[in-house]
Amino acid sequence: MYLTRDEEKSLNGENGETMASAYKILLAIGMATGAEKLVPIKWAHISGVNYNTIGDAGVEFLEKFSRGAKVAVKTTLNPMGFDRNKPASLPEIFTDQQMRIVRSYERMGTTPSFTCIPYEIFDIPDRGSAVSFAESNAALYSNSVLGLLTNKESSLSALASSVTGKAPYSDLRIEEFRHPKVTVKPTVKLNTEVDYGLIGYFAGKAVNDTCIAFDDMKEKTGIINMKSLSAAIGTSGICGMFTSEEKTNEVISYGREESNTIKDEINTAEDGDIIVLGSPQLGINEINFLSKLVESKRFLKRCMIFCPRAVYNQAANTGLIDKIQKSGVEFICDSCTCLTPLITRNDFDSVITNSIKGAYYLNHSNRIGVALKDMNSIVKEYTD
Amino acid sequence: MHTVLNCRKIVPGIGISKALVTNNVINFLAMVDTKSATIIDKHHELYGKSIKDIILVFPNAIGSSVGAYAIYSLKINRVAPSAIICINNADIITASGCAISDIPLVDMLEKPSSFILESEMEIRVDADKESVTIKTV
C-alpha cells in the first residue's frame, strides 16, 4: 500500500505513539482489504464505548491513546453502558471504568452522541462521501440506504480513521466493488421487523461477501425494517452492504424452512420476564409508531426502551415521551440493549425483544434466554 | 521433513506453535472468553478449546466491530494466540486487533491439493517472509 512521506513519518513515530498506532492499524486493514492508498473521510463513528464491550484492556488502551491525538474529522460515539442522568445500581467498578472511557473520548474531542444510529441524528454528507463507520448496523445502513462509502470498520480502525482523517481506499469505498455476486430471494412474505431481521441474519451467514442483493425488497420497506435488516446482517457475517436493485447469477432461496432454522437459533425462550426494545436504539419513527400502539394501554410486564438522548429530547418536546410513559415504559438514554450491564442473569432468566441483534448478544454475551416477537405482537400480548 | 506454504503478510512478526484449525468463523466479542482464551459458543467447532499460545487457523472474524478489542484483551491478559492465519482473506476486525497487539497475521494461505493443514501440526508463521512452515514427519 502506498503511503505519502508524511504518512510514512507518522507510522515511524515522528508524530508520537498514538499516531504511529493509528497508521499501524490503517496499514494492516489496508493490506487486508487490498488498498492501494489512504483517502480522506468526512466522518468517523466509533464503537467500543460500553465498558462491557472493551473491558479493562480497552480502558487502559484508550487512556493512553487519547493523550496523543485529537480527532481530525467529525467523530461520533456508540452507546455507553448506562444513562448518564439515571444512576443505576451498578457495581462501582463498572461506573468508574465506564467514566474513564467517556473521559478518554472527551479528551480526543469526539461528539458525546452515545448512539448506534448516528444516521438518524446527524446531517448526512452527500451520497458518495467516504466515511469510516464501526458499529455494523450503521455501516450497513449508511452504505445501503444513504449511499455513503464505508467498509464495515472495527472499533480500532474507525478510531484510527478518526485521528488521521483517513481510511483505506478499498472494498466498499470503491464503486466497482459495491456490487453483489449473490442474491437472497425470499419465498415467504416479510411482514414485520422480526421477519426482516431473520432474513438479514440468514443472508449474513450464508453469503461470505461484503455486498449482498435481496430480491423483491423495495424502498417501501421503510426505515424500521431497514434498521432491523442492517443490524442482523452485521451480526452474522462480514457483509457491509445490501442492495435490492441488482440481479446476480447466483441466487439463494429463503423460505419457511430457512426462516424456521434461524428462528430456532435466535429464539431461545418461550416467554420473558422483561420487554427490551432498542437494538439498534429506537429512532423517532419507532417512537412514533409505538406511541400509537400503546395509546390508552398499560404494559403488564416491565418494559425498557433504549434510545439516543437526542431522540428522547425531540420526542419529549412533541409530547410523545409522555404518551408512551403512561403505558408504564421506562426510557434509557446513552446506552443500548447490546451487552447492557442493566440486564443480567442475576435479575432475569429471559427477555422479550424484537431485535435479532439484541437477541444474539443477550444470549451469547449476557447469557440470557430470549423470546423473539415483533413490536406489534408485544404490545398486543403484554398490555391491557 | 517440512512443508512450506506461501501466504500474504498482514501484520509482521514470527509465531511458532501448534496449529488449531477450524472452518468456522469467529465472533471474537461473543464467542471468546478473553480471560482464559476459551471458545464459549456451544455451536462452535472449537467449543471448550483455548486459543492461547497456538497458531489459530480460521476463515475470518464476523459480527461485532468491538471484536478487535477482544483480540487486544487476549494479548493484555497474556492468553493471545502466537500467530493467526486467515484461510481466505483477513478481515478488518482481525487485522486491526492483531496490528495493535503485535500478533503476527497472514492470510491467503496456499492450498496445495497434496497437503492438508491440521490441528496439532507444529508450524512456524513468518509474516515478513510470507511463509508458513509445517513440520511433517
Q: What pLDDT, in 10s, does the model give residues A151-193?
A: 999 999 999 999 999 999 999 999 999 999 999 999 999 999 9
Measured between beta carbons, the chain A residues lying within 8 angstroms of B8 are 31
Query: CA triplet B2, B8, B11: central angle to 5 degrees?
Result: 105
Same domain, A123 and A239: no
In the chain, the amino acid numbered A294 is V
B137 pLDDT band, cuts 50/70/90, is confident
How many whole angstroms separate alpha carbon A244 and alpha carbon A242?
Answer: 7
Residue A85 buriedness (CB in 10 A; 0-12 / 13-18 / 19+): exposed
Asked if A341 is an interface residue toward chain B (Cβ–Cβ < 8 A), one would say no
B5 close to B48: Cβ distance less than 8 angstroms: no
- Count: domains in chain B: 1
List the single residue in A28, A57, A364 with the smallest CB-CB distance to B76: A57
B65–A58 CB contact, under 8 Å: no
CB burial readout A175-193, b (16+ within 10 A) else e? eebbebebbbebebebebb
Q: What is the mean pLDDT of residues A261-280?
A: 96
Domain endpoint, select from A204, A232, A264: A264
A55–B60 CB contact, under 8 Å: no
A156–B97 CB contact, under 8 Å: yes
How many whole angstroms separate alpha carbon B129 and alpha carbon A303?
Answer: 57
What are B44-92's pLDDT values in tens digits? 999 999 999 999 999 999 999 999 999 999 999 999 999 999 998 999 9
Q: Which single residue is written with the C-alpha cell 483505506?
A: A168
pLDDT computed for residue A218 by the predictor: 67
Instruction: Please give the ipTM for the structure prediction.
Output: 0.97
CATH number at residue B79: 3.50.30.10
What are A31-56's pLDDT values in tens digits? 999 999 999 999 999 999 999 999 99
Same domain, A273 and A353: yes
Closest C-alpha among A375, A153, A215 to residue B69: A153
Same domain, A260 and A361: no
Same domain, A96 and A132: yes
Percentage of chain A with pLDDT > 70? 99
How many whole angstroms separate alpha carbon B19 and alpha carbon B54?
Answer: 6
Give which of A63, A155, A338 to mutate to test B binding, by max B Cβ within 10 Å: A155
Q: What is the pTM of this model?
A: 0.97
pLDDT computed for residue A217 by the predictor: 78
List the single residue in A32, A139, A265 with the smallest CB-CB distance to B95: A32
Same domain, A138 and A241: no
Q: What is the mean pLDDT of residues B7-28?
A: 98
Q: Which domain holds residue A138?
A: 5-168
The values of phi and psi at residue B130, to 5°, are: 55, 50
How many whole angstroms separate alpha carbon A45 and alpha carbon A157?
Answer: 10
How many whole angstroms separate alpha carbon B64 and alpha carbon A47?
Answer: 9
Q: How many A×B Cβ pairs under 8 Å?
A: 130
Does residue A340 register a pLDDT over 80?
A: yes
Measured between beta carbons, the chain A residues lying within 8 angstroms of B43 are 265
Does residue A383 register a pLDDT over 80?
A: yes
What are A187-230's pLDDT values in tens digits? 999 999 999 999 999 999 999 999 999 997 765 689 999 999 99
The values of phi and psi at residue B129, to 5°, are: -85, 0
Which contiguous run of DSSP H or E holds residue B107?
A: strand B105-107
Rounded (10°) angle between helices A309-317 and A284-293: 50
Same domain, A142 and A241: no
End-to-end CA distance of chain B: 6
Is residue A52 situated within a structural domain? yes
Is residue A378 situated within a structural domain? yes
Does residue A123 register a pLDDT over 70?
A: yes
pLDDT computed for residue A34 by the predictor: 97
Selected catalytic residue, list B17, B36, B50, B64: B64
Same domain, A215 and A329: no
Q: What is the mean pLDDT of chain A?
A: 96
Cell numbers found for residue A85: 442522568
Residue A358 buriedness (CB in 10 A; 0-12 / 13-18 / 19+): buried
Chain B nearest C-alpha distance from A255 (Å): 23
pLDDT computed for residue A180 by the predictor: 98
CATH number at residue A304: 3.30.499.10
Query: Is B64 among the catalytic positions?
Result: yes
